[in-house]
Structure 1
Amino acid sequence: MDPRLERQYLINRRHFFGKSATGIGVAALASLLGEDALASEEKVMEAVSHFAPKAKRVIYLFQNGAPSHVELFDHKPRLAELHGEPVPPSYMEGKRFSTMSAAADKRKLLAPLEAFKQHGESGAWVSSLMPHTAKVVDDLCFVKSMHTEQVNHAPAINFFLSGFQLPGRPTVGSWLSYGLGTMNANLPTFVVMTSVTKDTSCGQIFYDSYWSSGFLPSRHQGVKLRAGNSPVLYLNNPKGVDGTLRRKMLNGISKLNEAKLADFGDPEIATRIAQYEMAYRMQTSVPELADISGESKATLDLYGPQVHEPGTFARNCLLARRLVERGTRFVQLMHAGWDQHNSLTTELYNQCRDTDQPSAGLITDLKQRGLLDDTLVIWGGEFGRTPFLQGDISNRPKWGRDHHPYAFTVWMAGGGVKPGISYGESDDIGFNVTKDPVHIHDFHATLLHLLGVDHEKLTFKFQGRHYRLTDVHGHVVKDILA
C-alpha cells in the first residue's frame, strides 16, 4: 500500500476532530480579531438583545458575609418590643440554620442596635448606621423579600453570582460578556475588585469561582484588578523591552497560535490570541484608569476619606465609575467583613463606616454625570442575618446574628428600576417573606431583562444540555421596572 494512503487510514480520532473543526476555529479567530469584531455598542446590542434594554452596564456592590437586614433597612418595631424573648415556635417550623446557632429553645430575639428613621419623599426606613445611604433613598429600590435556600457563605455566594450553589457555572458577568459583548476593546468586559475592612475578624475568602466563566469560553472570565499602581500582574514591559519589541514578540506568538488554531480549531487557542492582544492594549488603558489625579476634590469627597487609599471599598467604587464610563459592561466589587456572629456591636459599625458613604457617593456621582439612567447598581449580600441572637443576651460585647436565608434585603438603583420604592415584605420580626417573594432566579431574570435579554433565550450548550443563568426557573419582577 502507498505509505501516503496508509497514513490517511491511520489518522487518529483526535486529529480527525481537530482537522474537521478548522472552520470553526478560523471563524472564532475572525470574530475575536477582525476589524468588525469590536462593533459599536449599538450594533452589538441590536444583534443579541431580545428587546430594548434599559441598562447598558452593571455595578454590583456585593457585600460578602451577609449584612443584617433587620439592622439596616428592614424596620421592625415589633422586634425591638420582643427583645430578649424566645422566638415563637411558629416562625421556626421547617427552618434550618448553620451549626453555629444555639439550640432552638435557647434562641432569643435581638432588637436592632440603632434607631430607624424615614427619609426622602419616599419615606424609606433606614438605620442611623447608614446616614449617607439615607440621603439617596429616593434613587433606590429596596427589595425586602429576597430569599434563598443556601445557609452557608460559599454556596450562597456561588448561587447569587452564578445561579448554582456549586462552583463551575458561569457567573453573571460572564453571561453578560458572552451575550452582549464588549463596549471597549481596550478594557475587559467583566472586571472584579475586592476589599475588606481593616482589622476585621470576619472576612470571607474570595474564591475565583465568584468571577468564573465556567463552561463558557474563558475570555468571558472576570479580570481581577489588584490594589495599587499595577492593577494587573505582568502588565508592564520588563527592563530592556520597549513597545516595539513587545509588538514584534506578540506578532510572532500570534502566528504560532494561529497555525495551531488552523490545525485544531480549539476556541481556547483563539481566546489565548485575543487575551494577548487585550493585555497589550491594557498596557495603556489600565494605568490611565487607575490614575485618579484628574478627579476633582468635590468628586473625591463624595466617596469619603478612604478613596485616597488603594484597595479600599471607597477607591474601588470610584474605579467602578471610571470603568463603566469607559465602556466596561460588568463591574463586580466584593467587600468582606459582614459575617458578625459575635461582633455585631463593634464590627457592624466598621462595615457601615467603610461602605455607606462610598455606595451613596457612587449613586450621586453616576447621577451627576448622566450615567445612572443606563447603569444598574446593586447592593447586597448572599443572605441576611437572623432576627434572633447568637450569643448570651447578658454579654452585649459578644452579640451576633447567624446566617438567615428566609428573608433579607437588597437595593438597586438606576438602569430601568423604579426609584424611591420598597418592594416585598417580611413578617413583623423580619423572619419570613410575607408578600411578593423574590428568589435569586427571579433576581437574575430581572437583571437580564433590564439589559434587554430574555433569560430563557440566553443559553449555552454544554455536555449535551442547553444551560442558562436561571437554570429552569425565574420570573421577571415587573413591578420594580420603571
Structure 2
Amino acid sequence: MNSTPLITRRHALQSAACGFGALALNGIATAASLPRGLHHTPRAKRVIFLFMQGGPSQVDTFDYKPKLQELDGKKLPFAPAKNLDPSSASQAKLLGSPWKFQQHGEAGLWGSELFPEVSKRLDDLCVIRSMQSKGQSHGQAVCMIHTGADNFVRPSIGSWISYGLGSENADLPAFVSISPPATHGGPRNYGSAFLPAAHQGTTVGRSGKLGKDATFRFLNAGADAADQSRKLDLLQAMNREHFERTRHAPVEGMIQSMELAFRMQREAPLVMDIENEPAHIKALYGIGDAVTDNYGRQCLLARRFAEAGVRYIQVSTPNVWDQHSELVKGHTKNAAAVDRPIAGLLADLKQRGLLEDTLVVWGGEFGRTPIVQGANGRDHNPQGFTMWMAGGGVKSGIAYGETDDFGYYAVKDKVHMHDLHATILHLLGIDHLKLTYRYAGRDFRLTDVYGEVVHGIFA
C-alpha cells in the first residue's frame, strides 16, 4: 500500500500490555512494517458483510418487476443467457414472483413480503439493483465476491482491509469470519493467500452455524497467564532464531499469531459473551426463537465485534438460497431465519450511533433468473441482481441502477463486483488502485486491473 505507515508492528507489540512481545520480536528485521494509513478521509471505520450463500432471488426480494408479474408463464421476449441449464434455456418461460410487493417508508422503496422486518427499514438502505459478477457456478461466484477472483487463489477482501488498516483493537483480530462457508472455496474465502499470514480471517463457527457456546478454537482463556507467558517466551525465542536463519514468512506469521492469541485470551471471551446482553436486545435479534436464534446470535456477535474495534466482520448463512426447485418453500424458510436478525442489527447499530461509521453490506454471490427452472425453481443469474448497503457514508432510502423489465440483465448504472470492492475500500479511506502487494514479480490488488468507485451512492 503506497502510504506512510502510522505505526510499525514492532512498536505496537512493544507498547502492548503483555511484555513478552518485545522479547519475541527483538532483533527481527522485517523487510517492511505492516502498512497503516489512509489515502483520503474515510466515511466508514468498519464493515459487516451479511453473506447469503447460494444466491437469493432479486425479483422476489427487492427488485419489483410488474412486467414479470403481468407476463407470468409467457415466453421470455429475448434470448436467455447462454450459460443456463439447458432445460431452463429451452423453455425460457417467465416465472412471476409468488410474493407480494409493496412500497415502504418515506422513500417508497419496494420490498417483498419475504422480508417484512427489513422492509420496515428500507429508508436506511441503499439498494443496488444492477449488480453483475463473473461466474455462473457457485465456486466461481463465491470466490469472486470474497476475493475478487473466480479461478485463482487470491487474498480475501477482509485480509486486504486488515493489511491496509489493521485493527482498531490490538487485542482482537482485524478480520473475523462468523460461520464461514465450508464449500465453494472454503478457507479461500477468508484466507490471506500471499499477503502476510497475520491477515487471514479468524473464524468462529462453520457453514452458517454458530453454537450457543461458540468461541475461537484453541483459545485457552482459563490457563495461568504467567505460566503461559513463560512458555510463549520460549516458543517465540525458538521461532525468532528460526526466522533469523531462514527469513521464512510463515514463521513470522506464527510469531504474530501467537502474540495475538495471548492477548485475545483476555479480550475475546468478554466480547463473545452475549448472555450479558439485556433481554430486549436479545429479543430484537430473535434470540430465543427457534427460527431466528442461530442467525440472531451471529448478528449480535457481529455488532459486539464491531463495537470492540474489529475492522471486517462477515456473517454467513449456510448454502441454502440455491432454489433450483421449491422456490417458495426454500426462500420462505431462508428469509424467515435472517429477516428479524438483520433488521435487529440495523436498528441496534443505529440506536448506538454505530451505523454512521459502520458499513453493512447484504447479498449473495449472484441472483436468480426470472425464468422458471424445472417446475418451480430459478437458475443462477450473475447478469443482474441485487445487493444493498446501509450506513458507512452511503445514501439511505435510494435504489441505484436498474435491471430490465424482467430483472434478468443489468441495464443502467451497472455495478460489477470489482466496482463494489473498489467502493467498499473507498468508503474505508483506501484507494483501491494504491492498495497493492508485490508478489511473484508483480503488484497485486483486490480489484486486479478493474474496478470503478460508485460515487453515485455516497451521501
Same fold (TM over 0.5): yes
| Mapped partners of 1:253, 1:231: distance in 2 | 24
Counting only pairs closer than 5 Å after superposition, residues 86-125 of structure 1 correspond to structure 2 as: 86-88=75-77, 90-92=78-80, 95-99=81-85, 101-102=86-87, 104-125=89-110
Q: Which has the larger radius of gyration?
A: 1
Change (3 A) 1:35 1:66: same
Alignment-derived partner of residue 291 in structure 1: 273
The unaligned stretches of length 5 or more in structure 2 are 1-6, 19-32
Work out whether residues 191 and 224 of structure 1, in 8 Å CA contact, stay in contact via their aligned partners in 2.
Answer: yes
- SS of 2:372's equivalent in the other structure is coil
- SS of 2:353's equivalent in the other structure is coil
Letter paired with 1:442: D
Alignment-derived partner of residue 78 in structure 1: 67
Please state if 1:236 is matched with 2:198: no
Q: What is the deviation of 1:97?
A: 2.9
Alignment-derived partner of residue 192 in structure 2: 213
2:361 counterpart (378, 383, 404): 378
1:34 counterpart (6, 11, 14): 14
Work out whether residues 29 and 270 of structure 1, in 8 Å CA contact, stay in contact via their aligned partners in 2.
Answer: no
Work out whether residues 307 and 318 of structure 1, in 8 Å CA contact, stay in contact via their aligned partners in 2.
Answer: no
| TM-score normalized by the length of structure 1 | 0.85
Change (3 A) 1:329 1:169: same
The unaligned stretches of length 5 or more in structure 1 are 1-26, 39-43, 197-202, 393-398
What root-mean-square deviation, in Å, do the aligned CA atoms of Structure 1 and Structure 2 show?
2.5
Letter paired with 1:386: T
Please state if 1:353 is matched with 2:336: yes
Please state if 1:481 is matched with 2:458: yes
Change (3 A) 1:263 1:287: same
| Mapped partners of 2:398, 2:9: distance in 1 | 46
Counting only pairs closer than 5 Å after superposition, residues 11-22 of structure 1 correspond to structure 2 as: none
1:465 counterpart (439, 442, 450): 442
| Mapped partners of 1:212, 1:320: distance in 2 | 19
Alignment-derived partner of residue 58 in structure 1: 47
Change (3 A) 1:290 1:311: farther
Counting only pairs closer than 5 Å after superposition, residues 156-235 of structure 1 correspond to structure 2 as: 156-194=141-179, 207-226=186-205, 227-228=210-211, 229-235=213-219
Alignment-derived partner of residue 250 in structure 1: 232
Letter paired with 2:83: F
- SS of 1:215's equivalent in the other structure is coil
1:323 counterpart (305, 310, 321): 305
Work out whether residues 286 and 293 of structure 2, in 8 Å CA contact, stay in contact via their aligned partners in 1.
Answer: no
Q: What is the deviation of 1:266?
A: 2.9
Work out whether residues 59 and 378 of structure 1, in 8 Å CA contact, stay in contact via their aligned partners in 2.
Answer: yes
Change (3 A) 1:186 1:290: same
Work out whether residues 88 and 374 of structure 2, in 8 Å CA contact, stay in contact via their aligned partners in 1.
Answer: no
| Mapped partners of 2:388, 2:9: distance in 1 | 40
- SS of 2:52's equivalent in the other structure is strand
Alignment-derived partner of residue 21 in structure 2: none
Work out whether residues 134 and 150 of structure 2, in 8 Å CA contact, stay in contact via their aligned partners in 1.
Answer: no
- SS of 1:332's equivalent in the other structure is strand
Q: What is the deviation of 1:287?
A: 1.7
Change (3 A) 1:463 1:349: same
| Mapped partners of 1:295, 1:308: distance in 2 | 18
1:410 counterpart (387, 398, 408): 387
Work out whether residues 91 and 431 of structure 1, in 8 Å CA contact, stay in contact via their aligned partners in 2.
Answer: no
Q: Aligned residue pairs: how many?
A: 433
- SS of 1:361's equivalent in the other structure is helix
Letter paired with 2:363: G
| TM-score normalized by the length of structure 2 | 0.89
